[in-house]
Amino acid sequence: MITYLSNNSETVLAALRQHITLALIPVLLGFLIALPIGYLGVRFPWLYHPLINVAGVLYSIPSLALFVFLPVVLGTKILSPLNIVVALTIYTVALMARTVADGLRSVDRLVVESATAMGYRRLRRLFDVELPVALPVILAGLRVATVSNISLVSVGALIGIGGLGQLFTRGFQLFYIEPILVGIILSVLLAGIADLIIVLVQRAVTPWTRVQRGRA
């Protein structure tokens, strides 16, 4: 495996770079889109169940199907990385919209009422009180979305653009185990590092959750 890596370091690095870009841009985009959608699901309770059901159906579309189907809808080329980005953004939105809604709903009513009593208007209350309190739930969802995105990117290799997934298809075609192993290990490592970063960010931005645990 070491010889494979040293002989193919450029290919592997390029695949890794593409993998990171293709996985993380959708996480960011999907998160930003899911925030207002999740909020609407809480602001208008009748929207909550339709929201969850639509998200469930979106999530059940196989990634491979979405990757090959989006070019038809978007008019992009089949080999355009945009297809992967849009598809993974859709998955992220499907996952995160529900998490954002559940996170906001988990905020104690008394906290919201106290904020209102202190004179917070709806929008400021949302950003200064409700969202920060909901952060642990929302970030837990973000961890799931990030890790599953990183693992899904490789499926794109079946249509020719899949970051580390290209190492899988190459190894499979050549009946050669090294590139497949390298691809799997790097993909898992990448997911682990991304997950760790979110956990560390969460510890940094929600110090009060640790204080509570210390007391209990």
Partner 1 sequence: MNLTYLFDAAHWDFSSGSIPQLIVSHLWYVLLALALGTVIALPVGLYIGHTGRGSFIAINAGNAGRSLPTLGLLMLMVTLLGLGLLPVLIALTVLVIPPILTSAYAGIRSLDPGVVDAARGVGMRPLQVLFRVELPMALPVLMSGFRSAALQVVATATVAAAVGLGGLGRLLIDGLAVNDYSRVLAGAIVVAVLAVLLDLVLAFAQRWIVSPGLRASK
Which residues of this chain interact with partner 1, rule CB under 8 A? Answer: 56-57, 59-66, 68-69, 72-73, 78, 143-144, 147-148, 150-152, 154-155, 157-159, 164-165, 167-169, 171-172, 175-177, 180-181, 183-184, 187-188, 191-192, 195
CA 168 to chain centre: 22
Of the pair 14, 177, the CB lying nearest partner 1 is at: 177
Nearest approach in angstroms of CB 12 to partner 1 is 14
Of the pair 63, 129, the CB lying nearest partner 1 is at: 63
Nearest approach in angstroms of CB 116 to partner 1 is 28
Nearest approach in angstroms of CB 8 to partner 1 is 16
Tracing tokens 């189907």 back to the chain, one arrives at 69
Cα four-point dihedral sign 29, 30, 34, 35: negative
Q: Are 91 and 155 in contact (CB under 8 A)?
A: no
Of the pair 59, 120, the CB lying nearest partner 1 is at: 59
* CA separation for the pair 86, 33 (Å, rounded): 12
Nearest approach in angstroms of CB 141 to partner 1 is 13
Residue type, 13: L
* CA separation for the pair 197, 199 (Å, rounded): 5
Of the pair 130, 178, the CB lying nearest partner 1 is at: 178
* CA separation for the pair 71, 86 (Å, rounded): 10
